[in-house]
């Protein structure tokens, strides 16, 4: 039987992979970091929580509802926010700030929903938790039993879709060169709409899983956004395979370093674990901006980059030490 710590790490890795897939694919298609990605996942959490606690649904039956609803929400964001802004000639920085604002709006919606739950339904308003509604199988929580195979199947299906299905190949072509894909006959408008549905659906699915796996406070969106960004940057923002690798590795690194810090310095440093993903993003960008997949795409370049980056870090440290 696996230890509870290992079970927790594997479930988080599966959730991170699902979220990183959506975040990376949005970046590939639209060329901007979607800071509202985990906010859409929060909507999935709210839908799942409301269906279970208020209307008595089985938590696993809410996954499909959250997935579909968040997919449609993402399509609406593209049609009424992204597309008009891009049509008017705004740059990616504008879109980045717009989705940062959308994330703030969603955070306010979460607070309003929590307030409504407290005063109209009598449920605690500090966060969302559905673990008591989960099942157990041979001592393992149901979310562990279901999520890992689901994540594995999802990754395989997406791989086959993007490499074997004609429309999936067209989406990859549009992500690499939209103008050329349009010349070759790809309907780029449909591609964008479907890509946003896909990324929103992935976020909604992850959002529905999260309250079964762990207690989610009202501000968990920001925490997960940093983790998702770290995973996507680590794997490579231009690679779906990189999102899978990065989502898994960032979980192992974050959890592993936190456990080591607690072991050697006590429980008081547990909160420092939240800094690990942020530091990780900086380190990866300095050493290999294209992430792990950039190492495979340019097998000779990363070695020089790593060496030169380490030299720059050493010189920077030396100057800082001498100035002090």
End-to-end CA distance of the chain, in Å? 52
Provide the CA 105 distance to its chain's centre, in angstroms: 19
- Please calculate the CA angle 200-204-208 and round it to the nearest 5 degrees: 175
Residue, of 55 and 260, whose pLDDT is higher? 55
Least confident of 210-219, 222-231, 256-265, 287-296: 287-296
Assigned CATH for 4-270: 1.10.3470
Q: Report the pLDDT averaged over residues 56-71.
A: 96
Q: Report the pLDDT averaged over residues 296-320.
A: 57
Contact 293, 241 (CB under 8 A): yes
Q: Report the pLDDT averaged over residues 239-263.
A: 87
Contact 236, 242 (CB under 8 A): yes
Residue, of 183 and 285, whose pLDDT is higher? 183
For the chain, the farthest-separated pair of C-alpha atoms sits apart, in whole angstroms, at 65
DSSP H or E stretch at residue 136: strand 136-137
Asked if residue 92 has pLDDT above 60, the reply is yes
Strand partners of residue 218: none
Q: Structure pTM?
A: 0.88
Q: Report the pLDDT averaged over residues 108-134.
A: 82
Burial of 30 (0-12, 13-18, 19+ CB in 10 A): buried
Summarised one tens digit per residue, pLDDT across range 195-231 is: 999 999 999 999 999 999 988 876 677 778 888 998 9
Domain ranges of the chain: 4-270
pLDDT at 171: 94
pLDDT at 320: 54
For residue 57, give every residue at least 6 positions away whose Cβ sits within 8 Å of its Cβ, in sequence order, or none: 51
DSSP, collapsed to helix, strand or coil, labels residue 170 as helix
Strand partners of residue 127: 217
Strand partners of residue 141: 136
């Amino acid at each position: 039987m696996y230890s509870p710590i290992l079970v927790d790490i594997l479930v988080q890795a599966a959730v991170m992979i699902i979220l990183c897939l959506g975040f990376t694919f949005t970046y590939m298609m639209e060329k901007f970091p979607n800071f509202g990605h985990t906010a859409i996942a929060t909507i999935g959490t709210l839908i799942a929580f409301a269906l279970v606690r208020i209307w008595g649904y089985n938590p696993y039956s809410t996954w499909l509802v959250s997935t579909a609803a968040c997919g449609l929400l993402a399509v609406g964001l593209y049609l009424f926010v992204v597309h008009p802004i891009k049509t008017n000639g705004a740059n990616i920085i504008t879109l980045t700030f717009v989705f940062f604002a959308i994330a703030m709006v969603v955070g306010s919606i979460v607070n309003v929903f929590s307030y409504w739950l407290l005063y109209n339904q009598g449920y605690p308003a500090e966060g969302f938790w559905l673990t008591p509604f989960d099942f157990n199988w041979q001592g393992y929580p149901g979310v562990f039993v279901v999520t890992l195979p689901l994540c594995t199947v999802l990754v395989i299906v997406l791989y086959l879709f993007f490499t074997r299905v004609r429309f999936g190949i067209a989406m990859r072509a549009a992500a690499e060169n939209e103008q050329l894909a349009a010349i070759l006959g790809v309907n780029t408008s449909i591609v964008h709409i479907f890509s946003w549905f896909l990324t929103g659906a992935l976020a909604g699915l992850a959002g529905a899983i999260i309250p079964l796996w762990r207690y989610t406070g009202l501000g968990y969106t920001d925490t997960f956004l940093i983790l998702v960004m770290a995973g996507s940057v680590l794997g490579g923002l231009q690679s779906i395979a990189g999102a899978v690798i990065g989502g898994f590795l960032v979980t192992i690194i974050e959890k592993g370093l936190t456990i080591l810090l607690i072991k050697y310095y006590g429980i008081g440093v547990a909160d420092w674990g939240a800094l690990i993903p942020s530091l990780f993003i900086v380190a990866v960008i300095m050493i290999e901006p294209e992430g792990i997949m950039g190492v495979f795409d340019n097998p000779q370049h990363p070695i020089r980059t790593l060496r030169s980056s380490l030299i720059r870090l050493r010189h920077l440290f030396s100057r800082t030490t001498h100035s002090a």
